[in-house]
Structure 1
Amino acid sequence: MSIPTEPIGSLPRPATLLTALTGHAAGRVEDDELAMRQEEAVADTLDRLERLGCPVVVDGEQAKPSFATYPVAGLGSLAPDGAVIPFADGHTRQLPRITEGPFRYATHADTYLRTARRHTDLPVKQAVIAPSALSLLYPAEGVDGYPRKVFLDDLVAEAEADIRGCLDAGAHVVQLDFTEGRLSLKLDPSGGLLDDFVALNNRVLEWFTAAERARIGVHTCPGGDQDSTHSADVDYALLLPKLFRLQAGNFYVQLASEPDRERVLRVIADALPAEARIFVGVTDPIDPVVETPEQVRDRILEAARHLPAERLGTCDDCGFAPFADDVSTSRETAFAKIAARLEGTRLAEEALGL
C-alpha cells in the first residue's frame, strides 16, 4: 500500500503565456496565437510534473481565465457587476451575473482534459467548478422571465454534463472546487447558505453511480489569491461535518496553513465519511518558503495519528494561481513545493512501513 498524492489544479503561468494574455486583452494578440501559447504552457507543465515523478498530473489550468469562471467566459448573457468576494488583504474579485436564461456553459472542462491527454500518458486529474459557486451568478433581484428555480435546474444539468464529460474523456479523477463552502459561513454564519450549497452539489452528484463517485472529489480551502485568503478566519469545525455529507469518494482538505492542524484532524476523524479518502494539504501555496521533504513527512505522520493510513492521501493546500493574472507565486516556487510534497510523501510511506 502507498499514500496517493495529487496536485490540486492551477499552477503559475510562464512569462510567454502571461505576455500573450496581456496582449490578447489589449487586442494585440489574436485568438489562435493565444491558444498556441496556452497549449505550449500545458505541455511544459505536464512535462515538468512528469519529470518530478508525479503519479497523477494536471494541466495547471493554463488555458482557464480562472478556476471559477471558465464555463461562462465569453458568454453573451452576462453583466460584469455580480457578487464581490473580498480578501483579507483588501483586494477583491468580482463575479459576473446572468442577465437572461436559459443558462448554458460556454466551455466544458473536458476540452482542457482532451488537450492535456495529447501531451501525457500519465493519469490526468481534471478540476471543475462546483455548481454552488456558479449559483452565485444569479442576482438577488432575480431575472425577468427566468425564475431562480429554473436557473438551478439548468445549472444542475450543465454541472452534471461537465463532470460526466470529463469522466467519459478518461479523467483519473474529477475534482469539484468548493472554496465557496468556507466562505458561505462568513456570508451567512447561520449555516443556511452552506446547507443550500451542499444540497445543490448533491443534486448533481446523485446523478452518478457509486463507482463514478469514487472518481469524483471535492476540494475545500479558504481561497488563495495574490497571497491572501477570503475565509481563513472561519472555524473549520463549522464546515467539515457538513462538507462530508457530499456524495464524493475523495476530499481534498487544505491543512498545511491551518494554525492548529491537530484540532482540524480531530474534527476530520470524528466526521470521517464512510469509505471516502481524505487528501490532506501538506504544502502552503501562499507561503513563499518552500517546505522541506522532512516537514511534509512530519505533517503526514501527524495526520496518520488521526486518520487510517489506508484512507489517507496528500495534496497541496490549494491551487497556486487560480486566477490567470495571479503572479504572486513564481512557477519555480510552485514546482519546488510539489517536489517537496512528492519526496515528503515517500518519506512518510517509509516511516509508516507502507
Structure 2
Amino acid sequence: MALPLLPTTVVGSYSMPGWLERLKTEFYARRISRRDLEEIHDTAVKAAIKDQELAGVDVISDGELRRDNMIDYFAERLPGVQIDHSSKKFHYDFYDSKVLGKLPMGPLGLVDDVKFLRANTDRETRFCITGPHSLAKRIRNEYYPNEQDFALDLARVMNPELRAIARAGADIIQIDEPNYSGFPDDLPWAVKALNTLIEGVDAKMAVHICYGNRYGKPSWEGSYRYLLPGIVEARVQQLTLEFARRGGEDLEIFRELPPRFEVGIGVIDVKTQAVETPDQVAERIRKALEVIPAERLFILPDCGLLHLSRDIAFAKLTAMVEGTRVVRKELKH
C-alpha cells in the first residue's frame, strides 16, 4: 500500500493501561499463569492496533504492550544471558541480568509478534528492537573485554532474528538507541554494532535516537550535534528524532545529512499530558520542511506513548494526523 506524502507513524510503544500493569505484576507474583498473561497481551495489542488505525496513523506498531521495558524483553530471550528472576517484583523494573561467557546463537522468538501484528492490520507496520548499544549498557558484562566487543557480539547474535522479522512482514524495523545521547563518545563503535545488527536485513531500517523516556522524563539533555558526521556511517534509511519537547533548534544540523536519509521528526511531546492542537503540529512540520524536503520526512511522536493515559495518547495521535493533513493540503497547492 503506497504511503502518502508525510507519512505518520509511531515510535513504538502505546499507552500501558493500569489494569495491564497490575496483571503483569500479578504474573511476577505467580498469581496468574503465562498462558493467561499471553491472552491478556493479545487483547491489549489488538486494542492498541485499533486505536492507531482509528487515529488515522499510516504506519503502525503493536504498541509493545507485551514488553515490560525496553531491555528485559530482549535480555530474557538472548541465549547466554543469565537472569535473576527473583530480582523483579514490579513489571517495569529491570531484571538483574549478566553474561558470563560468549553468547551462543539462537532464535529470540520475536517473529510471532510480527505475525500477530500483520494478521491484525492491513496498514504498513513498524517493529522496534532495542539496539546493542543500549542492551550492553544494561546487561552486566562479565566476559567480554569491553562494552564494544559485547555490543558487537549482541549484534551478531540478533542479526538472524532481524532477517526473520523482515521475512515475517515488518515493513520498517526500528532500532531503539536512546543511550547514544547519554554516551556520545561511544558513537563510532555503536554505529559499527548497529551496522552488524542490520546487515542483510530486507526491510527499511530506522534508528530512533532521543534523550530518554524513563517514567516519562528525559534522562539527558544536550544537542544532536554529536551525531554528525558519525551517524552518516549508519547503513539505515531513516533517523527518528525527538523535537517537540526540545524545540526545533537542532533541525538545522540535519541539513548536513546525505539525501539518502529520511528523517522522522517528533512533533508530539510525550512528556506532557497537554494535547497538541493540529495547528501546533502543522507549524512544527512547516519548520522541519524548511530544512528537509517533504519526500524525506516522516511524522511521529518524540518517543513512545507508554507513560500517557490512553485517552491522552489517542488524542495526541489524532492531532498529529490532523495537523499532518493540513500541511499535505498546503503542499498540493
Structure 1 length-normalised TM? 0.83
State the secondary structure of the residue aligned to 2:213: coil
> Would the aligned equivalents of 1:3 and 1:312 in 2 still touch at CA under 8 Å?
yes
The C-alpha deviation readout for 1:163-209, integer Å capped at 9, x for no partner, is 21211001111011111111113xxxxx2x2211112112233434x
Q: Is 1:54 paired with 2:54?
A: no
Match of 1:86 in 2: none
Q: Is 1:236 paired with 2:237?
A: no
> Would the aligned equivalents of 1:7 and 1:316 in 2 still touch at CA under 8 Å?
yes
Give the distance between the partners of 1:95 and 1:310, measured in 2 at CA.
44
- Deviation, 1:310, is 1.4
C-alpha spacing 1:337/1:241, structure 2 compared with 1 (3 Å): farther
> Would the aligned equivalents of 1:2 and 1:349 in 2 still touch at CA under 8 Å?
yes
Match of 2:245 in 1: 257
Give the distance between the partners of 1:244 and 1:96, measured in 2 at CA.
32
C-alpha spacing 1:10/1:183, structure 2 compared with 1 (3 Å): same
The C-alpha deviation readout for 1:253-274, integer Å capped at 9, x for no partner, is 1111114x1x31110112x123
> Would the aligned equivalents of 1:72 and 1:107 in 2 still touch at CA under 8 Å?
no
Structure 2 unaligned segments of length 5 or more: list them. Answer: 86-92
Matched letter for residue 252 of structure 2: R
Q: Is 1:194 paired with 2:187?
A: yes
Match of 2:161 in 1: 162
Q: Is 1:9 paired with 2:8?
A: no
Question: Percent identity of the aligned residues?
Answer: 26
C-alpha spacing 1:11/1:163, structure 2 compared with 1 (3 Å): same
Name the count of aligned residue pairs.
322
- Deviation, 1:112, is 1.4
Question: Which range moved further: 48-57 or 168-177?
Answer: 48-57
- Deviation, 1:77, is 3.8
Q: Is 1:298 paired with 2:302?
A: no
Match of 2:131 in 1: 130
Give the distance between the partners of 2:139 and 2:38, measured in 1 at CA.
30
> Would the aligned equivalents of 1:223 and 1:229 in 2 still touch at CA under 8 Å?
yes
Matched letter for residue 343 of structure 1: E
Structure 1 unaligned segments of length 5 or more: list them. Answer: 82-91, 186-190, 322-327
> Would the aligned equivalents of 1:78 and 1:96 in 2 still touch at CA under 8 Å?
yes
Give the distance between the partners of 1:150 and 1:236, measured in 2 at CA.
25
Structure 2 length-normalised TM? 0.88
Match of 2:197 in 1: 204
- Deviation, 1:307, is 1.2
The C-alpha deviation readout for 1:227-285, integer Å capped at 9, x for no partner, is 21111x222211343233311111111111114x1x31110112x12322111000011
Counterparts of residues 1-354 of structure 1 (less than 5 Å): 2-73=5-76, 77-78=81-82, 96-103=97-104, 107-137=108-138, 139=140, 142-143=142-143, 151-152=150-151, 154-185=153-184, 191=185, 193-208=186-201, 212=202, 215-231=204-220, 233-259=221-247, 261=248, 263-270=249-256, 272-321=257-306, 328-353=307-332
Matched letter for residue 228 of structure 1: K
> Would the aligned equivalents of 2:15 and 2:309 in 1 still touch at CA under 8 Å?
yes
Question: Which range moved further: 100-109 or 8-17?
Answer: 100-109
Matched letter for residue 112 of structure 1: D
> Would the aligned equivalents of 1:320 and 1:334 in 2 still touch at CA under 8 Å?
yes
Give the distance between the partners of 2:304 and 2:15, measured in 1 at CA.
9
Over the aligned positions, Cα root-mean-square deviation in angstroms equals 2.6
Question: Which range moved further: 295-304 or 45-54?
Answer: 45-54
Give the distance between the partners of 2:137 and 2:216, measured in 1 at CA.
24
State the secondary structure of the residue aligned to 2:63: coil
Question: Which range moved further: 300-309 or 119-128?
Answer: 119-128
The C-alpha deviation readout for 1:34-93, integer Å capped at 9, x for no partner, is 000000001111112112222211110011122233122266742569xxxxxxxxxx96
State the secondary structure of the residue aligned to 2:206: strand
